Structure 1
Amino acid sequence: MGRPAIKVFSEVEYLALERKSSEKHFFYNGEIYAMAGASYEHNVIEDNLRLSIGNHLKGKSCRSFGCNLRMQVPGHSFYTYPDIMVICGDPVFRTDTFDTVTNPTILVEILSEGTADYDKGLKFDLYRYFQSLQEYVLVDSRKQHVLVYSRNDNGSWTMVEYKEAADRFRLHSIDLELSLADCYTGLNLPAA
């Protein structure tokens, strides 16, 4: 007995369905996937980072967004909702409906057991196609562990790992320094 046929959707069909849906879905190569709910730890980390980044950006030309703004990798049939996105300058929209952006400067994903491999692998492979992307930050929700990927002038990427509560990391594109303690305030997670 063979595998059942998978329905393949066009980008237009996905966007029409997504605009009517009360739940969020990501889209990749014609397939639609439901996005999982987030843990308490995930929500605390997201809140901590959104407050720190948002407060830092007040009055500046960059703006942070939570997980409700959809983005698309230009030239690829991949649409998703990052946990946190920073856009510097004016947002560039995919269409004139103003609900799908294509020019993130910083993307932050909060890792869970179910998403860690995907966020470090296929998702980052696709995110690197954003010419505007300068930093990709992965924050673990199970232990104190942050990975910061930064784009170099030649287009290559450098990764730096942070594991201690006192460790500080800089988001150069917005000139913001954060500590692991800033990420994990209110949580009692083990060190990596």
Structure 2
Amino acid sequence: MIASPQYTNPEDYLRLEAESPTKHEYSDGAIYAMAGASDQHVTIALNLATLLRSHIRGTGCRVYIADMKARIEARNRFYYPDVMVTCDPRDPETALYKRFPKLIVEVLSDSTEAFDRGDKFADYQTLESLEEYVLINTRHPRVDCFRRSQSGLWVLQSYTPQSDRVFLESIDFTCSLTMLYEDVVWDEGELGFTQDNIQSP
């Protein structure tokens, strides 16, 4: 994100954002312009959103990608998750943002990884509806899935080519890493999928 000197309230932010050609995230009055995403980032997010849309069709849940905001009222924040799923009947009441997601996915980049793993995750944890927070690596095949336990603790499970299958408990969804990373063009020197580092389906 790129810092902007603008300060405003949530209502003004939503009005300005609806008219802006550039997306901004909102943090307690401060507005931050969002940088563009890489080919890997966009491909992974679209792959997952497509798979999730097929999985939840007819369940009453909705999947959103990139352009829908998540509102974190406890911290006075608005973020744009890369992928978000909500099943709460109250969310259709707000057209510009969703307040009750059960699954949030961020596709990592070099410039945002520390924030996604740190302060942003801390903000997302204040959402009582959130059951899973997922981070997808763009440098090599790896998915880190944080699940909220019954005791309220967040438990990490990681998926790599050795395990192959990714399981999202919040929506009872399973897919292979090969499907998640389909058509991703890895940067030179980065480890993608080879016959040696992935199991057969």
TM-score, normalised via structure 2 length: 0.85
* 8 Å Cα contact 1:144/1:165 also seen in 2: no
Gaps spanning 5+ residues in structure 2: where?
none
Give the match for residue 42 of structure 2.
43
Q: Which amino acid aligns with 1:174?
A: I
Which of 154, 159, 172 aligns to 2:156? It is: 159
* 2:120 paired residue number: 123
What secondary structure sits across from 1:105 in the alignment? Answer: strand
Partner of 1:147: 144
Which secondary structure does the structure 2 equivalent of 1:71 belong to?
Answer: strand
In structure 2, the residue matched to 1:178 is 175
C-alpha distance in structure 1 between counterparts of 2:53 and 2:162, whole Å: 21
Instruction: Show CA shifts across 1:40-83 (max 9, x none).
Output: 11111011101111111111121111111112112221101100
CA separation in 2, counterparts of 1:66 and 1:132?
Answer: 18
Q: Matches of 2:40 and 2:14 in 1, distance apart?
A: 30
| Alpha-carbon distance between aligned partners in 2 of 1:188 and 1:90, rounded to the nearest angstrom | 38
C-alpha contact 2:88 2:100 (8 A) present in aligned 1: no
Q: What residue in structure 2 maps to residue 3 of structure 1? A: none
The residue aligned with 1:102 is 99
Aligned residue identity for 2:158: E
CA contact (8 A) 1:135 1:150 kept: yes
Q: Distance in 1 between matches of 2:49 and 2:181?
A: 12
The number of equivalent residue pairs is 185
Separation of aligned partners in 2, 1:114 and 1:188: 19
Output the CA distance in 2 between the equivalents of 1:8 and 1:170.
40
- C-alpha deviation, 1:117, in angstroms: 0.6
Q: Which amino acid aligns with 1:55?
A: S
The alignment-based identity, stated in percent, is: 34
**Residue type of the partner of 1:155?**
G
Q: Distance in 2 between matches of 1:123 and 1:142?
A: 21
Residues 3-37 of structure 1, C-alpha deviations (whole Å, 9 max, x = no match): xxx54322222222112112110010211000111
Compared with structure 1, are the counterparts of its residues 68 and 13 closer, same or farther at alpha carbon in structure 2 (3 Å cutoff)?
Answer: same
CA distance, structure 1, for counterparts of residue 182 and residue 163 of structure 2 = 12
Q: In the alignment, does 2:179 pair up with 1:187?
A: no
CA contact under 8 A between 1:165 and 1:179: conserved in structure 2? Answer: no
Q: Distance in 1 between matches of 2:103 and 2:97?
A: 16
Once the two structures are superposed, residues 163-182 of structure 1 have per-residue CA deviations (whole angstroms, 9 ceiling, x without a partner) of: 21652121112111122212
Name the TM-score, length of structure 1 as normaliser.
0.89
Give me the whole-angstrom Cα distance separating, in 1, the residues matched to 2:80 and 2:171. 21
CA-to-partner distance for each residue in 1:115-173, whole Å, 9 max, x for gaps?
Answer: 11111111100000000001111001121111000010111110111221652121112
Report the RMSD for the aligned CA atoms in angstroms: 1.8
Aligned match of 2:165: 168
